[in-house]
Each structure stands twice: as C-alpha cells, then as structure tokens.
Chain A
Amino acid sequence: MTEILSPAGDIERLKWAFRYGADAVYFGGYNYSLRANATNYSIEEIKEAAEYAHSLGKRVYVTVNILMHNEDLEGLDEYLETLSNIGIDAYIVSDASVIKRIKELKLKPEIHISTQESSVNRETVKFWKSLGATRVVLGRECSKEDIKDIKENVDIELEMFIHGAMCTSYSGRCVLSNYVTYRDSNRGGCSQVCRFTFDMDEYGDYQICSKDLSMIDYIKELVEIGIDSLKIEGRMRSLYYIATVVNAYKTIVTKINDNTLTQSDIEYYKKVINRVSNRENTPQFYNKEPGVNEQYYSGREEVTNQDFLGIVLGYEEGVMTIEQRNYFKVGDEVQVFGPNSIKNFKVESIKTEDNIEVEDAKHPQEILKIKVPFEVQKNDILRVPIY
C-alpha cells in the first residue's frame, strides 16, 4: 500500500502520527537537519523513535539534508554511523558529500534524495539512482506529466509532498534568507523571507508568498501512477494537525485500496484538513502552472484553530477523562475522533477531577470527566464536529 509519511517534530508527535495512520515518519537530529526551529531529536531520542517505530512495523527516516560547509563535515561520519547502528531506515540527503560518506562507510540505511535537490525529470532521477539512492523525493514543481514520465522510465521509489507549506522557489535555490536576514537557508536557518512584505513603488505592498499545497483531489491518481510514498510537510506542526491530516490521507488511501472511496469522502476530508489548516491550499504545479490563485499578494490572516477541545486520557463505564485544550460547555455537540472512528455526541455533564459539576471547560490542560454515550479509547481526540 502507498506509504503515508508524516513529519514528527518530536517523540510525542511521532507517536501521534503512527497512532493516526502514518506508515513512516521523518525528523531531524540536532545537527544536519533543515528545520532549526523544530524541536529535533537527540541520539537517544532517535534510538527511542526507531525502536518504537519498528515495534509497530513502521519506518523512520532521518533528515541529514543541510548543504554542508567544510566545518560541518567534521563529525559527520560518526553521526551517520551512529544513525546506522541505531537502525534508522533511511537518510534523507541533499549534499553529495553525505552520499559519498554513506557509501564509503558502507552504511546500511537507504539513501533518499531530499526535495532540496529539486529533482523534476527522469534523467535527474536516473542520476541519483546511479549514485545508490533507493528513493527520490520529487521537486514540488513536478506536473502530472513529469511525474508519470519519471515513474515510467526509472525503476526507483518515488516520494511526493502532498500537503503543507511550499517554498516559493525551487527548493534549495533560495538564499534570500542569507542576504536579507543573515540566516543560512540551506543549513536550517531559513527565515522565510518569501513571506515578508516588500514595497513595489506605485503598487505599494507586494508579496511572493505561496499558498499551501493540498493534493487531496488527486490522491487516487498518484496511487494509480504508482507513487510509493505520500509525504506531509510540517515538522513544527501541532499533534492535532498531525493526527488530523495523517488520518485524512490514510483513510483516503485505505479507501482507494478497498475500492470504496467516494467523492463525498473526499469532500468530507477536504473540510477536515481545511479546518485544521491556517492557510489556503491548492494542488499547485500538479495540474497547471500556478497563477493568480496560488499566491498571496498583500498579507494574509492566519486563523487560529480552536477546534481541538481535548485529548482522551481514559474511559470507564460511560465516562471519559480528558485533558482540556479549548473551550466547550454543557449542551455543545462535540466529536470524538479516533484513528478508525468519528462519533458525535451532546455534552450533558462535565465534572472536574474532584467530581465537582461545572458548566464549561475553560482551563487549558485541566483534567475533566465527561459522560459519553459510547466507548472511547485513550488518545482519541475531542474536537468541534466536522460534518
């Protein structure tokens, strides 16, 4: 089955990603990873992550995808060897020096070529294969025609971003951050200058900011083309976002395989992922050249999502214990969202840990007891209903 590949900014989010349907996760260590602002993992945490994933029959890929300066090469061998000894499943790389060392050291994990290399045609993918890569993460600028051509002409695993934020540029080909804010974009310091506001004389404010990517309408096509891995962007996203988006795409792929996917399923999950997203999304380059509707031009409002009401900590005889995340009250219709179920009910009673009846849940992370008319599972999510 086509792999759902989730970001996992830390161990907690890794567990949520797997719980809600991810087949594999990707993350970075403290060094050599392109998301300096993500929590990132210590060696011990990488080990824990790999062991946890493998206990579930799932996979972990570690990003070693900065573009190395000379000084970064010191210690690289040891780091790569440590990752190999831990038993990670693949390195995600963009710098040829990393491939060189993986090969020289005869390390076991697979080599996946990062999207930073912007591989958008069959010959480039063949080149990476010739260097020993087993998978290429395609550039987000690939059209359907590009993707089909690559798949038909190169026998290698292909991975594609299907959801999340986009670079305005071809990945790796932007150093605006370096020149405007003195932060090295290709070594994890990107300050996202493409989201800044510029002045363009008579027009005033000008932006070059891209809307996000969502391939939800085309997942069936990608599965039919034979894309091996569908990748979700967002190592800094919340666990609620991870659970919701991973579950939406996992459900769609499962239904495609079962031949039960309907247009109403797609429309429903479109609503689900739009509710959890704070920016608009489009298929970007897949079905046409992006134009006026694929960009932001003069600022945007990023909506704070308050749908996430709580996490289920336990269930006993018709009462669930939750940790509150956002406000709700007695009388509200709420939804319990689990890896394999979505059920609604009306809140009839809320009690504190000390069994004091209250009318509303208004304290973040407060432990509350709520009557529920069906059995729920630990780590199910309580949210505002999505119909």
Chain B
Amino acid sequence: MFYMIPNSKDISKFNEELILPLEGYSIGFDIYFSALEIEEISKTRKVNVIINKFFHKKDIDSIDSVLEKLEHVNYFFIEDLGLINKIDKEKIVLSQNHIITNYDSINYFKEIGIKNVVVCNELTKEELISIREKTSSNLFYFFIARNNLMYSKRHLLSSFYEYKSSFGEKTRVIKEKVSGKELIIKEENDGTLIFDKNIFSANLYMKELSGYNFIINFSNMNIDETKVILENYKSDKLRELLNTDDYFLKNKIIYKVGDRK
C-alpha cells in the first residue's frame, strides 16, 4: 500500500492515501494543514496525520484541544513517545526517525499496544526483510524521499545570518567540503533540519520489500521531480529519470563498536 505526503495544498494530484503534516506540530515539510483543514479533507478522502516534532511543555499543554478536532483521522504518525498517552494506540504509527532499527523493539512496541511502526531508512534490504519476517506488526517505510538526516531545535541559518550581519533564505544547499556531499538545510520556527540532496528511492526493491506500506514524501521536491515521481513511482525507470540513490539498502555500514575489535 502507498501513502503520500503532499508538497502542495492542491492534493488532487496525489492519488494515494494521504499523510498530512499537522500545522504547528510538525517540521521539515513544504506545507502544513490545520486541524480544520484535515477534518474537511477527511470528508472526501481517507487521511492520516504526521506529528513529527519533539514536544516541549507548550506543545504537550496545547495538543489535546487540537487532537479533539481530528475525529476522522485514520493513523497518527508520531515521533514523540509522549503522544502515546494522548492518542488511541490503534491509531498510532510510531515514526521515530532513525530509531526503529530491529525486529525486537518492534515486537516490544506491539506487546504494549503499538502495532504500526515506521522502520528506519538506514537499514539494508536484508535487515528490512528480516524485520518483516520476525514481526507481525504493520510496517511502514519511507520509500521515496529526500531523507531527513538531522533534526535540531537550533536555528542554524538565522543565527548564521545574524553572525554575518545578513539576511538570507531559510532553505539552502550546503556542501561538505571533504566529501563534496550536498545537503539541503531548512530552518523553520521550531528548529532546523538537514536533508540529503539526493533522492532516496527503494523502488528497485519493491517486490522484495512487499508487505511494507510505502510512504512517498514529496517535501523538498520541485515541480518537475514531483511530476516524474507521480508518474513513475512504481517503475524501475525512476532511477534513471531522477538519478535516485538506494543508499544503505545494499550498503551495510560496517563501522560500529564491535567491528573495531
């Protein structure tokens, strides 16, 4: 099954089930939807919501009244575990970025009632298959996206512009000087995120990863890229058309503590 996070309020062209970023409680997307907008959309389409910010006191104090308005949402994709106490567990999709990396943690979350989980993007294909085989949870995976590589509460661009006595854009491309790796840095009110400039795509492995629910995140994609993905997300041609990368799906990271012995 496919899910799409749109990058435009014109959602008509996003033809799969939608995941809508909740305004004020999400970060790193191109557009956000208020609770009222989401409820309105839910009258005509099945909708899910992503709430991916870390919640500080003001957020945890204010979220109840927002959640009350979201009566018809199917799933809530959440980053902050505090929301487990606020949302019906059946509706929760645990979506902790970079954190869910093995079958046993997924099984444990299922034991405590969380049976929908987004699996980390930094795993190999074999690890993903093994997870699928060793769990009975409902698994999700960011299938095509500009992968989120870092989430900071700091304002990393506006502080820099202040240091330079300048004003600049809140989304920039930066290049790491040794590797030449290009990254997209994006600052919002609640912090700064860094994304890979390359587009990640797992669509060459669609069959092997069957059983996962595939999420396509259109945030940080331009009009042309959006169009190409919408037309080819199920096709092997996508890789050639957009020069996508499959990163760790076939490249195991060998550097970890045990490898140094």
Contact = CB atoms under 8 A, between A and B. Distances in A.
Contacts, number: 232
A188 B86 CA distance: 33
Interface stretch (A83-91, A92-100, A218-226, A343-351): A92-100
Given A96-B109, A176-B194, A199-B175, 13 more contacts: A36-B256, A36-B260, A67-B98, A121-B54, A124-B81, A180-B179, A183-B253, A186-B99, A189-B253, A189-B257, A200-B172, A208-B156, A297-B164
A197 interface: yes
Interface residues of B, number: 73
Interface in B80-125: 80-86, 97-99, 101-105, 107-109, 111-112, 120, 122-123
B59 interface: yes
Interface string A283-298: 0010001111011010
B43 interface: no
Contact of A290 (B104, B154, B166, B194): B154
A123 B223 CA distance: 40
Interface in B232-256: 247-248, 251, 253, 255-256
Contacts of B59: 121
A192 interface: no
Contacts of A131: 112
B8 interface: no
Interface stretch (A6-14, A43-51, A140-148, A311-319): A140-148
Interface string B215-242: 0000000000000000000000000000
A184 B256 contact: yes
A239 interface: no
A308 interface: no
Contact of B105 (A95, A143, A198): A95
B13 interface: no
Contacts of B150: 168-169, 173-176, 194
Nearest to B179: A180
A32 B257 contact: yes
B153 to A, nearest CB: 5
A169 B152 contact: yes
Interface of A: 28, 30-33, 36, 40, 66-70, 72-73, 94-97, 99-101, 117-128, 131, 139, 141-143, 145-146, 149, 168-170, 172-176, 178-184, 186-189, 193-194, 196-201, 203, 206, 208, 210, 285, 289-292, 294-295, 297
Rank and list the top 4 A-B pairs by shortest CB-CB distance, nearest first.
A123-B82, A97-B104, A124-B82, A187-B256
Nearest to A284: B154
B79 to A, nearest CB: 8
12 contacts: A100-B111, A121-B82, A168-B152, A174-B152, A175-B98, A178-B253, A180-B181, A183-B255, A208-B156, A208-B194, A295-B154, A297-B160
B174 interface: yes
A145 B251 CA distance: 43
Contacts of A122: 57, 60, 82
